[in-house]
Amino acid sequence: MSESLIGYRGEALKLLREANVEVGDVVRITKGGLVYEGLLMPRSMYEDERHIVIKLASGYNIGVRITPEIHVEKVREGVKPSFTLPPRPEQKPGSPKVALVSTGGTIASRVDYRTGAVRAALSAEELYSIVPELAEVANIDAEALFSVYSENLTPKHWTAMAERAAYHIKGGAAGVVVAHGTDTMGYTAAALSFALQNLPVPVILVGAQRSSDRPSSDAALNLLEAVRAAAFGPFAEVVVAMHASASDDSIVFHRGTKVRKCHTSRRDTFRSINSPPLAKMEHGKIAMLIEDYRKRDPSGELMLKPNFEEKVALVKFHPGASPKLVKWLVEDGYKGIVLEGTGLGHVGDYWFSAVKEAVENGVLVAMTSQCIWGRVNMKVYDQGRDLLAMGVIPLDDMLPETALVKTMWALGQTKDQKEVRNLLKANIAYEYSPRTLYE
C-alpha cells in the first residue's frame, strides 16, 4: 500500500497513480458531464476499490465511483499542514511530579480536519496544549511506552508496565498515571496490583469511552482527575479512574483487583464488584469511600514482582461444554486453569474426570463464579464438595478476571505448588473482601 495513497487498492490505486496525485492534493474528477473538485482523501481499508473519496470546498466528503469514462487530474499539490504548539501554560510553582505512561489508545489527540486523521498527542507538551488545566495540577513527565490497542496487550506488557511504574516511583514521582485502552484495563489493573507491592504512592490507570478527538470525550476529565489523584490522593494503591456516571462531574477510583468493565459503551462502564469504589473525586476534591486502604507513604520501599506465567486459562463452564477443553489445556502444558463455574462454583459431573486428571497432572485448578456478584461456596451442594475433594481451590469473592491474573502472577513467583496455593489464598491487594455488604 502506498503511503501517499493510503487505503486505496486495485482499480482506484492504479487510476490515482496514473494521475500522479497524492492524498491531500486538489484533484478534478470528470465523468459523464459531471465535474467534482476537491481534496483527495484517504480511504478506509475496509471499503471497496471502486470509489475515490474527495473533500469538497464545503468541507463535505463524497465518494466518486470509478467508471470507464472517468478522468482524474491534479489541480494543484496539497498544502501540508504545519502545526505549531501553543506555548506551554505556566506551571504552578512547586507542583508535584507525576509520571504519565501511555500504552496506546488516545487519551489525548488532535484532529487533522484536512484529512480526518486523528493524531495521538503523546508528549507532555502536546498534552498540556490539549488539556491546559494539567499544568495547574502537576508537573508531567510523559513517556510513550507502547502504542497498542488494549486487546493486543499480553502479560509481557504488564511486566513492562510494572517495571516502568517502578522506575518512575523510584525516581521520586508523586504518583504514576497509566493511559490505557479500556477493553482490558481491568486485567492490567489487577496485574499491576500484584506486581507492585508495598506501594508508596498511587498508580492510576485511566482511559476513555469516547475518543479524545471529540468535544464530548470523557478523556480530558478522566486524565485531569487521574493526574490530580496521582499528585495528591491519600491512597497508595493501583486503581482505575473513570467517570462515575453519564455526567462530567465526578470521577471514581476503583480498586485494581475489584474492577470490571460492565458496559460496552457507557462512560461509567467500570464498576467495583463485591466492594464499593475506593474513592470519588468531585470538583477537584477527593473523598475516600472505604476506610481500610493503603495510605500514601513516600518513604515506603516498593517491592517489584513483575513476572507472570502465561500458561494459565480462564474457562467458562456452560451447559453442554465439552470436558475436552480442559483435557486439551492439560495436554498443551497449561500450569493453571481458573474455572468460571455456575452459581456457587459448580461444573457438570461430566467434567469431573477431566478436572481430576488436571489436578493429578499438577495443574492448579481454581474456582470462581460466572455470576460476577457474590462469593463461591462449594460446601453447600455435593457437586461442590466433590470438586473440593479433587483439589479445586475455591477463590471466594475474587473476580474471575482477577483470579486469572493472580494465578498467572502466583505461578510466575514460584514453582512450588504449595506456595502457589498459599499465595492464591492470601489477600495481597484487597482481592478478597471478607464481608459483602448489602448495597
Partner 1 sequence: MAIIAAVIRWLAVTSRSSASIDYSKVGLKVGLEVHQQLDVAHKLFCSCPPRLFKEEPEASFLRRLRPTQSELGQVDPAAYFEFQKGLRISYEANKSTSCLVEMDEEPPHDLNREALEAALTFALMIDADPVDEVHVMRKVVIDGSNTTGFQRTCVVALGGEVEVSGKVVPIQQVCLEEDAARLMGKDGAIAFYRIDRLGVPLIEVTTAPVITSPKEAGEVALTVGRLLRATRKVKRGLGTIRQDLNISIRDGALIEIKGVQELELIPMVVEYEVRRQLSLIKLREELKARNVEERHIKDEFVDVTMAFVNTKYEALRKSIEEGKRVLAVKLLGFSGLLRRELMPNVSFGDEMADRARFWGRIDEIFNTDELPSEISNEEVELLSQVMKARDEDAIVLAVGLEEDAIDALKAVTERAREALRGVPEETRAANPNGTTRYMRPRPGAARMYPETDVPSIRIEEEYVKRLRSRLPMRPEQMLKLLMKEYGLNEKLARQVLDSEYCELFEGLVKETKAPPTLIATTLTETLKALQRDGIEVSRVSSEQLKEIFTMIGRGELAKEAIPDVVTWLSEHEGLTAKEAVESLGLIMLSEEELERIVKDIVRRNEGIIKQRGPKAAFGLLMGAIMREYRGRVRADVVSSLLKEELETFG
Give yes or no for residue 69 binding partner 1 (CB under 8 A): no
- The angle at the Cα of 376, spanning 375 to 378, to the nearest 5 degrees, equals 150
Interaction of residue 285 with partner 1, rule CB under 8 A? no
Q: Name the grid cell of 6.
A: 493510503
Asked about 183 being catalytic, the answer comes back as yes
Minimal distance, residue 216 CB to partner 1, in Å? 4
Of the candidate residues 119, 280, 305, 311, the single one contacting partner 1 (CB under 8 A): 119
Q: Is 47 in the site for partner 1 (CB under 8 A)?
A: yes
182 carries an active-site annotation: yes
Q: Is 34 in the site for partner 1 (CB under 8 A)?
A: yes
Residues in 364-393 that interact with partner 1 by CB under 8 A:
none
Chain residues 222-251 in contact with partner 1, contact rule CB under 8 A:
245-249
CB of 65 to partner 1, least distance (A): 4
Residue burial 132-145, b: 16+ Cβ < 10 Å; e: rest: eebbebbbbbbbeb
What is the nearest approach in angstroms of partner 1 to the Cβ of residue 421?
43
Q: What string of DSSP letters covers 290-359?
A: -SS-PBP-TTS--EE-----S-EEEEE--TT--THHHHHHHHTT-SEEEEEEBTTTB--GGGHHHHHHHH
Q: Is residue 62 involved in binding partner 1 (CB under 8 A)?
A: yes
Shortest distance (Å) from residue 169 CB to partner 1: 30
Q: Is 60 in the site for partner 1 (CB under 8 A)?
A: yes
| Number of residues written out for the chain | 439
- Any contact of residue 73 with partner 1 (CB under 8 A)? no
Contact call for residue 56 and partner 1 (CB under 8 A): yes
Contact criterion met (CB below 8 Å) for 276 and 300: no
Q: Outline where 114-154 has alpha helix (H).
A: 124-130, 134-137
User: What is the rounded end-to-end Cα distance, in angstroms, of the chain?
Assistant: 55
- Candidates 77-85, 179-187, 357-365, 379-387: pick the segment binding partner 1 (CB under 8 A): 77-85
Binding status of residue 299 toward partner 1 by CB under 8 A: no
Residue 110 interacts with partner 1 (CB under 8 A): yes or no: yes
What is the H or E stretch that residue 250 is in? strand 250-255
Q: Cα separation of 405 and 50, whole Å?
A: 47
**Interface pick for partner 1 out of 93, 215, 319, 333 (rule CB under 8 A):** 215
Distance CA 326, CA 352 (A): 10
User: Which position among 13, 49, 63, 371 is part of the footprint of partner 1 (CB under 8 A)?
Assistant: 63
Minimum distance of partner 1 from residue 13's CB (angstroms): 17
Q: Which of 48, 141, 183, 248 is catalytic?
A: 183
Record the cell numbers describing residue 288, joined without a space.
Answer: 475516600
CA 215 to chain centre: 21
The only residue of 16, 53, 101, 429 in contact with partner 1, by rule CB under 8 A: 53
**Does residue 127 contact residue 203 with C-beta atoms inside 8 Å?**
no
Which of 55, 258, 261, 356 is flagged as catalytic?
A: 261
Q: Any contact of residue 438 with partner 1 (CB under 8 A)?
A: no
Total of chain residues touching partner 1, rule CB under 8 A = 50
CA distances from 118 to 24, 100, 114, 258 (A): 15, 21, 11, 33
User: Is residue 87 a contact residue for partner 1 (CB under 8 A)?
Assistant: no
CB of 109 closer than 8 Å to CB of 213: yes
Which of 49, 89, 91, 111 contacts partner 1 by CB under 8 A?
Answer: 111
- Specify the residue, 213 or 401, whose C-beta has the smaller distance to partner 1: 213
Is 285 in a helix, a strand, or coil? strand
Q: Does 116 bind partner 1 (CB under 8 A)?
A: yes
Q: Where are the alpha helices (DSSP H) in 119-247?
A: 124-130, 134-137, 155-170, 185-195, 219-232
Among 22, 25, 213, 340, binds partner 1 (CB under 8 A): 213
Residues numbered 259-278 forming contacts with partner 1, rule: CB under 8 A: 264-267
Measuring CA to CA, which residue among 366, 55, 379 is closest to residue 64?
55
Q: Does 129 bind partner 1 (CB under 8 A)?
A: yes
Site residues (vs partner 1, CB under 8 A): 34, 36, 41, 44, 46-48, 51, 53, 56, 58-65, 81-86, 110-114, 116, 119, 129-130, 210, 213-217, 220-221, 245-249, 264-267
Residues with catalytic roles:
106, 182-183, 261
